[in-house]
Amino acid sequence: AQSVAQPEDQVNVAEGNPLTVKCTYSVSGNPYLFWYVQYPNRGLQFLLKYITGDNLVKGSYGFEAEFNKSQTSFHLKKPSALVSDSALYFCAVRDTGGFKTIFGAGTRLFVKA
């Protein structure tokens, strides 16, 4: 069965500093990996995905994520955080056998001015 873990409930970072939000996964076969962001009282919005190809994936709003197969990780990163990046971030995984997507518990990111 597929699963995804986000080990941090909350990440705090100062504006202008780099940020990392961690994600590890478990799936049989090759994974499809995703990051979504949720702002208050809104639905989730897609940020980026890894399907195949380069391990470093670039997405919306300056975010990127690195796929590491040996560590089964897909950490979300941004070189310079903005206050407006403060939100709830979800990592998600699905295997190639279907479209059932499993979401992590979410990590709340606080960026302080």
Partner 1 sequence: DAGVIQSPRHEVTEMGQEVTLRCKPISGHDYLFWYRQTMMRGLELLIYFNNNVPIDDSGMPEDRFSAKMPNASFSTLKIQPSEPRDSAVYFCASSGGLAKNIQYFGAGTRLSVL
Question: Quick one: 24 or 81, whose CB is closer to partner 1?
Answer: 24
- We find the least distance from the C-beta atom of residue 17 to partner 1, in angstroms, to be 27
Residue (4 or 81) nearer to partner 1, CB: 4
Smallest gap from Cβ 42 to partner 1, in A, equals 6
Residue whose CB is less far from partner 1, 99 or 113? 99
Q: Please tell me the distance from the alpha carbon of residue 33 to that of residue 23, in angstroms, as a whole number.
A: 10
Q: How far apart are CA 76 and CA 10, in angstroms?
A: 14
Residue number, 22 or 49, with CB nearest to partner 1: 49
Residue 101's closest CA among 36, 52, 17?
Answer: 36
At closest approach, how far in Å is the CB of 68 from partner 1? Answer: 20
In order of 56, 61, 87, the CA distances from 19 in angstroms are: 16, 13, 13
Residues that bind partner 1 (CB under 8 A): 32, 34, 36, 41-46, 49, 51, 90, 98-106
Which one-letter amino acid corresponds to residue 104?
G
The CB-of-71 to partner 1 minimum distance in angstroms stands at 23
**Terminal C-alpha separation, the chain:** 41
